[in-house]
């Protein structure tokens, strides 16, 4: 077999094995082992690849960002800051039609700016806003759709574990990716909000909403400026510390993670949401998430080294250059692949498999790899909202535990938001400056 | 409560099981404490740098080594808790609808896991010995020096417990397959 064939078979084998349910790192690692074995003809080379990847590939200062930002995110979730943001947003937007929906988006965006784990925000806001929206007459399908749609903001708005993973795989600066996520994140939030208000006016039956008496009850809710300030202050302080610290050049991303985790710890302690047992449980959970993400990165290193040895990315690049598709043609194929894969695989696996394959292909076009990261993440996340395996929808279903709302309702409700994501993605592709303006 | 009287052989096995569970949670606690310690250390460094203009030497190098240490200390417990990333839509459907096929597939998956970490161990043990004998270190001599062998040792121990955990999972699949055969 030629190197090219070995490369192609490896990628296909990995996809089939992952889809069948083999542990993702095991699939990446073992197939890479066999690939290198076939390419080199001796057992020494692939053993060397596995061992050195395990020992050295994560031995880098920048990988410290993962445990620290995961710890910060879990501590923030523990301190119930999400509830406070949502309450303030509800009061502030109560006069708007579709206001509770827009409040969910706004609170999610603010929450996303202090956490990096998006599954956390899907779970938090399922518990907070779905019951609240249904209490005020919104249709269940619309309510879960809003939560599903806005939960993806967590991976786009910095800090985000997904942006970190891309940065590590593509060897880009974490700080640059964090910066690049801001405008697209805000743009997507804005698009969601506009769409919600639009739907509330044009399809009132689909959206639902408060009737006269419910509206009156909603208007009764007020909150003094002092109370709002008090509720929002932890968010503002954490954003200022972490994102301000990174952009201001005060901290490296790793340091910002540590400072943010300590800030979140102090917040949780002040609000008495944390005792020793819970702190330990949060730290153990952090360890599990860290170990599983970083072990994935170890195996992805094996995979991308195997790919490079096989020469597949280069050959693919030559072949695509001859096909004369142009940048937009290739990106269209890439995004379609991402969306299809996103419907059955999780975002991390997609990034790990696709990015090492496509970066060399796109290199001749002189694309910006930070912008490419934003495109990749938004593209892969559309799949989070689509059947059969949209993970965000499953998290909502399992958190909700309400038989009146079926998985079908959640997917149907999320569909308009997936469509909006696609529109925003097209904008991001056509106008790279949206992602790069602050970088 | 005293454990039920069993045959000596079974008692040995249950003792082994408890020893293994204890090892996993001990390694996990060590890794957990390490993460919290890392958070404190970096904050102290940042504080010392900005408040007293006195950064701590070697924090960067320590963070680099810590990541490998933390990951391989926690990996066994993460595997046991079912936290290793997998896409289980098709697989869990098979387990309910075609249990025999599902468990046979599960067995193959766990054994692949054993093979994978086994291969890392096969290269990792000689690497550990070489690192120890030659006294490899990180950092700048004279300022601060971290020997590399403890982290390599953690890598080897971590991969070993992961392999054992995969074997335990594999055995559970075998047990289901055998009992379903007997019940026919």
Q: Residue A246: list chain B partners with CB under 8 A.
A: none
Picking from B70, B85, B120, the nearest residue to A51 by CB comes out as B120
Q: Residue B81: list chain A partners with CB under 8 A.
A: 288
With a CB cutoff of 8 Å and minimum separation 6, the contacts of B105 are A20, A21, B91, B94
Which of the 8 DSSP states describes residue B55?
A: P
| Cα torsion B53, B56, B57, B60: sign | negative
What is the reported pTM? 0.87
Q: Residue B73: list chain A partners with CB under 8 A.
A: 287
pLDDT higher than 70, residue A289 = yes
The Cα-based distances of A105 to A38, A73, A85, B20, B141 in angstroms read 51, 18, 11, 46, 53
Picking from A23, A60, A255, the nearest residue to B113 by CB comes out as A23
CB-based contact, B81 to chain A, within 8 Å: yes
The 10s digit of each residue's pLDDT in A343-395 is 777 788 888 888 988 888 888 888 999 999 999 999 988 888 887 667 778 77
Confidence at B102, pLDDT banded by 50, 70, 90: very high
pLDDT higher than 60, residue B184 = no
Q: Residue A16: list chain B partners with CB under 8 A.
A: none
Query: Which residues 20-49 of A have a C-beta within 8 angstroms of B?
Result: 20-26, 29-30, 33, 46-48
Residue with tokens 């806003």: A129
- DSSP H helical ranges for A311-406: 312-323, 326-342, 347-362, 369-382, 391-400
CB-based contact, A89 to chain B, within 8 Å: no
CB-based contact, B80 to chain A, within 8 Å: no
From B84, B105, B77, B93, select the one nearest B173 (Cα to Cα): B105
Q: Hey, how many other C-beta atoms are within 10 angstroms of the C-beta on A90?
A: 24
Cβ-defined contact of A19 to B87 (cutoff 8 Å)? yes
With a CB cutoff of 8 Å and minimum separation 6, the contacts of A423 are A191
Confidence at B7, pLDDT banded by 50, 70, 90: low
Residue A258's pLDDT is: 93
Across the A:B interface, residue pairs with CB atoms under 8 Å apart total 180
As a whole number, the mean pLDDT across chain A is 88
CB-based contact, A410 to chain B, within 8 Å: no
Q: What is the ipTM of this complex?
A: 0.89
As a whole number, the mean pLDDT across chain B is 87
Residue B2's pLDDT is: 45
- Percentage, residues of chain B above pLDDT 70: 93
Residue A275's pLDDT is: 86
Residue B1's pLDDT is: 41
pLDDT higher than 70, residue A257 = yes
Residue B181's pLDDT is: 73
What is the rounded average pLDDT of the residues A282-304?
A: 89
Dmax over CA atoms of chain A, in Å, equals 77
Residue B183's pLDDT is: 65
Residue B160's pLDDT is: 95
Distance from CA of A40 to the nearest CA of B (A): 17
The 10s digit of each residue's pLDDT in A105-147 is 999 999 888 877 666 677 778 888 888 888 888 999 999 999 9
The 10s digit of each residue's pLDDT in B31-70 is 999 999 999 999 999 999 888 888 888 888 889 889 999 9
From A434, A93, A55, A365, select the one nearest B72 (Cα to Cα): A55
What is the rounded average pLDDT of the residues A192-205?
A: 93
For residue B145, the SS3 value is: strand
Rounded CA separation A2/A402 (Å) = 54
Q: Which of residues B9 and B17 earns the better pLDDT score?
A: B17
What is the rounded average pLDDT of the residues A36-65?
A: 87
pLDDT higher than 50, residue A203 = yes
A55 Rama class: left (phi>0) / alpha (psi -120 to 50) / beta: alpha
With a CB cutoff of 8 Å and minimum separation 6, the contacts of A9 are A1
Q: Which of residues B139 and A157 earns the better pLDDT score?
A: A157
């Amino acid at each position: 077999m030629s190197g090219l064939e070995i490369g192609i078979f490896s990628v296909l084998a990995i996809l089939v094995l992952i889809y069948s349910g083999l542990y993702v790192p095991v699939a990446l690692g073992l197939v890479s082992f066999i690939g290198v074995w076939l390419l080199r003809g001796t057992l020494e080379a692939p053993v060397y690849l596995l061992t050195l990847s395990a020992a050295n590939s994560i031995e880098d200062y920048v990988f410290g960002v993962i445990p620290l930002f995961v710890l910060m995110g879990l501590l923030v979730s523990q301190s119930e800051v999400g509830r406070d943001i949502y309450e303030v947003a509800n009061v502030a937007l109560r006069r708007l039609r579709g206001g509770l929906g827009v409040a969910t988006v706004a609170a999610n965006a603010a929450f996303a700016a202090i956490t990096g784990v998006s599954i956390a925000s899907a779970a938090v806001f399922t518990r907070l806003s779905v019951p609240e929206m249904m209490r005020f007459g919104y249709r269940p399908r619309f309510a879960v759709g809003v939560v599903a749609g806005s939960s993806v903001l967590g991976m786009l708005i910095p800090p985000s574990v997904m942006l970190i993973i891309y940065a590590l795989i593509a060897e880009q600066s974490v700080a640059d990716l964090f910066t690049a996520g801001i405008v697209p994140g805000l743009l997507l939030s804005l698009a969601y909000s506009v769409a919600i208000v639009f739907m509330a006016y044009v399809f009132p039956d689909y959206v639902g909403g408060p009737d006269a008496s419910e509206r009156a009850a909603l208007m009764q809710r007020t909150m003094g400026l002092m109370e709002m300030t008090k509720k929002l202050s932890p968010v503002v302080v954490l954003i200022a510390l972490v994102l301000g610290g990174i952009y201001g050049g005060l901290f490296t991303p790793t340091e910002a993670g540590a400072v943010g985790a300590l800030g979140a710890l102090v917040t949780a302690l002040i609000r008495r949401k944390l005792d020793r047992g819970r702190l330990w449980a949060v730290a153990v959970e952090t360890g599990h998430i860290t170990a599983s993400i970083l072990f994935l990165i170890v195996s992805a290193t094996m995979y991308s080294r195997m790919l490079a040895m096989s020469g597949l990315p280069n050959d693919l690049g030559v072949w695509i250059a001859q096909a004369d598709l142009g940048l937009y043609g290739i990106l269209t194929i890439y995004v379609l692949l991402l969306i299809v894969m996103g419907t059955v695989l999780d975002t991390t696996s997609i990034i790990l498999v696709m990015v090492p394959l496509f970066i060399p292909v796109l290199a001749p076009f002189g694309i910006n790899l930070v912008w490419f990261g934003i495109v990749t993440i938004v593209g892969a996340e559309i799949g989070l909202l689509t059947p059969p395996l949209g993970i965000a929808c499953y998290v909502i279903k399992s958190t909700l535990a309400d038989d009146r709302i079926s998985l079908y309702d959640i997917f149907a409700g999320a569909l308009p938001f997936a469509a909006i994501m696609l529109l925003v993605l097209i904008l991001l592709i056509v106008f790279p400056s949206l992602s790069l303006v602050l970088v | 409560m005293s454990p039920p009287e069993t045959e000596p052989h079974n008692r040995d096995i249950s003792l082994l099981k408890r020893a293994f569970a204890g090892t996993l949670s001990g390694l996990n606690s060590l890794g957990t404490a390490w993460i919290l310690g890392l958070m404190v250390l970096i904050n102290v460094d940042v504080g010392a740098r900005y408040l007293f203009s006195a950064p701590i030497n070697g924090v960067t190098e320590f963070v680099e080594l810590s990541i490998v240490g933390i990951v391989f200390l926690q990996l066994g417990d993460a595997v046991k808790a079912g936290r290793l990333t997998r896409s289980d839509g098709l697989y869990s459907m098979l387990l309910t609808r075609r249990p025999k096929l599902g468990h046979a597939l599960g067995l193959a998956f766990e054994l692949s896991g054993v093979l994978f970490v086994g291969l890392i161990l096969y290269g990792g043990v000689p690497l550990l010995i070489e690192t120890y004998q030659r006294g490899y270190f990180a950092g700048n001599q004279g300022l601060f020096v971290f020997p590399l062998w403890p982290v390599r040792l953690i890598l080897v121990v971590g991969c070993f417990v992961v392999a054992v955990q995969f074997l335990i999972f594999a055995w559970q699949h075998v047990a289901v397959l055998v009992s379903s055969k007997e019940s026919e």
